[in-house]
């Protein structure tokens, strides 16, 4: 395994490393170094094999250390959700980024233009006013910003509809000064069911993509880069028509949602939350010291929406409810937990969980070998 990058600032006032996992105060997020490395390599190898550019979405981890590992494994650059995340990554030396978010307002357009002075930066957007604002700010600053027009192939969130008026918007965007045309962007966020469901959805998705390409070609709009990809559908990307870049995020850690979608196993979940049993007063229940302020209240995305995480090595225990700082466990008859017992929980959704942490602990077997600051946490602007 490659040596992990360590950034001195992240050490804070914490005890000297290495230390034992048993010495960590809970609750705490542990990152299994070997599993992380395996997940990073698996996706990088897949993309290399199929000649698809990998542009990992760093909203999942928000840690420059991991972004640098992804770049070393051959990523074409990174994707971010918000400008503040891009600024954190640029500060850490990442120099190729797409903000996959429609940025609005003078303040954001000016910050974007500033960023374009120190990194190759692009934006995915879906309206002329946003593109015009970016173009104006870029012209004023004398920089060029990459632009990708987002189309909606079925998720129904952002993205222009697949019709002629949308193609005219793309043509108008193409004509704006100080924008570098990079192609089109889609987000197959609706392809997230289990394997059989994904196979079915893929057929529909390809019909949508074919329609989009026909509209673009008829209007003479080039689409050099076609960016897609989420974690559940990532390893199907070579079967998406025309996709030549993907932006998966969750694959670095995986989570209960990914396992539920049959896109990973619990053994491939690199991030777990270490918790301690703090109360066993109520019969058949136990309370651990991680609630929604550590794990988030995110429910499972598909299938049965019960429970707030998976308790590793204890499939019989249900994490059935969360208060802000309490995790409520249901203990079956015959099972028993003691105050002070430690458990490891795979959260339902790892991305917002990481966003709640100041730092994570990088572990190998029973040792803490590093700790990383979640430098991008809380950057909502």
Q: What is the full DSSP assignment across 50-112?
A: TT-EE--BTTTT--HHHHHHHHHTT-S-EEESSHHHHHHHHHTT--EEEE-S---SHHHHHHH
Q: How far is the CB of 111 from a copy of itself (least distance, A)?
A: 9
CB closer to a copy of itself out of 206 and 292: 292
Q: How far is the CB of 281 from a copy of itself (least distance, A)?
A: 5
The 303-342 contact track toward a copy of itself, x by CB under 8 A, reads --------------------xxxx-x----------xx--
The 260-289 contact track toward a copy of itself, x by CB under 8 A, reads ----------------xxxxxxxx-x-x-x
The 191-220 contact track toward a copy of itself, x by CB under 8 A, reads ------------------------------
Residue of 290, 329, 343, 345 that binds a copy of itself (CB under 8 A): 290
CB closer to a copy of itself out of 24 and 236: 24
Look up residue 326 and give its two tokens.
């309490």
CB closer to a copy of itself out of 244 and 292: 292
The Cα-based distances of 26 to 2, 21, 243, 270, 344 in angstroms read: 28, 10, 43, 18, 11
Q: How far apart are CA 256 and CA 265, in angstroms?
A: 9
CB closer to a copy of itself out of 65 and 150: 150
Q: How far is the CB of 317 from a copy of itself (least distance, A)?
A: 16
Q: Is 81 in the site for a copy of itself (CB under 8 A)?
A: yes
Q: Is 109 in the site for a copy of itself (CB under 8 A)?
A: no
Q: How far is the CB of 338 from a copy of itself (least distance, A)?
A: 9
Helical spans, DSSP H, in the chain: 33-49, 64-72, 83-91, 106-116, 128-141, 164-174, 195-218, 256-260, 292-295, 350-354
Q: Quickly tell me which residue has 């250390």 as its tokens.
A: 65
Q: Quickly tell me which residue has 């940025």 as its tokens.
A: 103
Which residues touch 161 (CB under 8 Å, ≥6 apart)? 151, 152
Q: What is the full DSSP assignment across 150-184?
A: EB-SSS-SSSB-SSHHHHHHHHHHHTSTTEEEEEE
Q: Is 26 in the site for a copy of itself (CB under 8 A)?
A: yes
User: Which window, 98-106, 199-207, 229-237, 362-370, contacts a copy of itself (CB under 8 A)?
Assistant: 98-106
Q: How far is the CB of 87 from a copy of itself (least distance, A)?
A: 12
Which among 294, 360, 368, 281 has a CA at the least distance from the CA of 326?
294
Q: Is 171 in the site for a copy of itself (CB under 8 A)?
A: no
Q: Is 293 in the site for a copy of itself (CB under 8 A)?
A: yes
Which among 346, 224, 334 has a CA at the least distance from the CA of 273?
346
30-69 positions binding a copy of itself, by CB under 8 A? 59
Residue of 58, 355, 371, 375 that binds a copy of itself (CB under 8 A): 355
* Beta carbons within 10 angstroms of residue 107's beta carbon: 12
SS3 state of residue 119: coil
* Interface with a copy of itself (CB under 8 A): 25-28, 59, 81-82, 101-105, 107-108, 126-127, 129-130, 150, 152, 156-161, 189, 276-283, 285, 287, 289-290, 292-294, 296-299, 323-326, 328, 339-340, 349, 351-352, 355-358, 377-378, 380-381
């Amino acid at each position: 395994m490659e040596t992990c990058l360590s950034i001195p600032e992240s050490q804070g006032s914490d005890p000297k490393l290495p230390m034992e996992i048993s010495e960590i105060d809970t609750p705490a997020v542990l990152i299994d170094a070997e599993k992380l490395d395996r997940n990073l390599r698996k996706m990088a190898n897949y993309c290399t094999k199929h000649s698809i550019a990998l542009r990992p979405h760093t909203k999942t981890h928000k840690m420059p250390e991991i972004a640098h590992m992804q770049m070393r494994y051959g990523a074409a650059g990174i994707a971010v959700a918000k400008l503040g995340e891009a600024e954190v990554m640029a500060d850490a030396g990442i120099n190729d980024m797409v903000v996959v978010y429609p940025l609005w307002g003078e303040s954001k357009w000016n910050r974007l233009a500033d960023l374009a002075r120190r990194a190759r930066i692009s934006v995915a957007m879906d309206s002329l006013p946003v593109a015009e604002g970016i173009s104006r700010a870029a012209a004023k600053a004398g920089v060029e910003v990459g632009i990708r027009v987002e189309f909606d192939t079925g998720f129904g969130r952002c993205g222009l509809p697949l019709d002629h008026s949308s193609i005219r918007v793309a043509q108008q965007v193409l004509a704006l000064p100080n924008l570098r045309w990079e192609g089109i962007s889609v987000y197959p966020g609706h392809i997230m069911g289990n394997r059989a469901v994904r196979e079915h959805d893929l057929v529909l998705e390809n019909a949508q993509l074919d329609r989009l390409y026909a509209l673009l070609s008829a209007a003479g709009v080039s689409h050099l880069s076609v960016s897609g990809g989420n974690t559940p559908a990532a390893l199907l990307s070579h079967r998406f028509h025309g996709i030549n870049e993907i932006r998966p995020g969750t694959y670095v850690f995986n989570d209960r949602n990914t396992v539920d979608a049959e896109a990973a196993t619990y053994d491939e979940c690199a991030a777990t939350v270490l918790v301690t049993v703090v109360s066993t007063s109520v019969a058949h229940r136990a309370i651990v010291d991680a609630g929604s302020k550590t794990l988030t209240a995110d429910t499972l995305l598909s299938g049965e929406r019960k429970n707030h995480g998976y308790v590793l090595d204890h499939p019989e225990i249900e994490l059935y409810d969360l208060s802000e700082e309490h995790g409520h466990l249901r203990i079956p008859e015959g099972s028993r937990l003691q105050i002070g017992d430690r458990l490891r929980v795979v959260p339902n959704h790892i991305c917002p969980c990481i966003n709640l942490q100041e730092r994570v602990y990088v572990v190998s077997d029973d040792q803490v070998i590093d700790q990383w600051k979640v430098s991008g946490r809380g950057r909502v602007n």
